[in-house]
Copies of this chain bind each other. A is one copy, B any other.
Amino acid sequence: MQLTPTMHRCVLHWGEMASRWGVSRSVAQIHALLFLAPAPLTADEIAETLNVARSNVSVSIKELQAWDLVSVTHQLGDRRDYFQARKDIWEVLTMIMDGRKKREVDPTLQMLREATADAGKDHETPEQVKQRIADMLEFVEELSGWYDQIRTMPRPTLLKLMRMGTKVAKIVT
């Protein structure tokens, strides 16, 4: 697939942001390419377009599938896999946030629960420190629960709430 200058620019930018986003350059570039591509692409097309090893595409696609950002389709009379990315930008954000919560928050939540549970037996740690850990646990639990609730709300509702901006505050006054 031939990249136009604009697409080229986006793909390169995605690649540059990759390390900040916590994925490898290949993963980010492939995602950019599939997100922009007007039609699904085969692994070979991706490898050729981005000049990366075919095997690299295979592994990167696996990761994008784990994030639920890319899926496979097929063409009649063609055994190759055709990959396409989620095009709905709102859904893309949701998938990324879900993934990040699972990887970046949940393990810590788990650890804080254990640490707090064990605090009784621990007579060395100053009360002040235990309290800080407990406070943190409570805060993260609350945030986590809030996120799970928001996640269930229909998109139009969220959109309306978002567009109200700070005006939502009036309901709590």
Residues of chain A at the chain B interface (Cβ within 8 Å): 4-7, 9-10, 13, 17, 20-22, 35-36, 38, 87, 89-90, 93, 103-104, 107-108, 111, 115, 118-119, 122, 124-126, 128-130, 132-133, 135-136, 139, 142-143, 145-146, 149-150, 152-153, 157, 160-166, 168-169, 171-172
Contact = CB atoms under 8 A, between A and B. Distances in A.
Nearest to A165: B149
Given A20-B103, A161-B168, A161-B172, A129 B4 contact: yes
Contacts of A103: 20
6 contacts: A4-B129, A6-B122, A6-B129, A7-B129, A143-B162, A145-B165
A149 B133 contact: no
B124 A89 contact: no
A172 B152 contact: no
Contact of A172 (B136, B149, B164): B164
Number of copies of this kind of chain in the complex: 2
Closest 4 CB pairs of A and B: A4-B124, A4-B125, A149-B165, A160-B172
Contacts of A122: 4-6
A140 to B, nearest CB: 8
A139 B87 CA distance: 13
Contacts of A17: 104, 107-108
A87 B132 contact: yes
A92 B96 CA distance: 22
Contacts of A168: 161, 168, 171
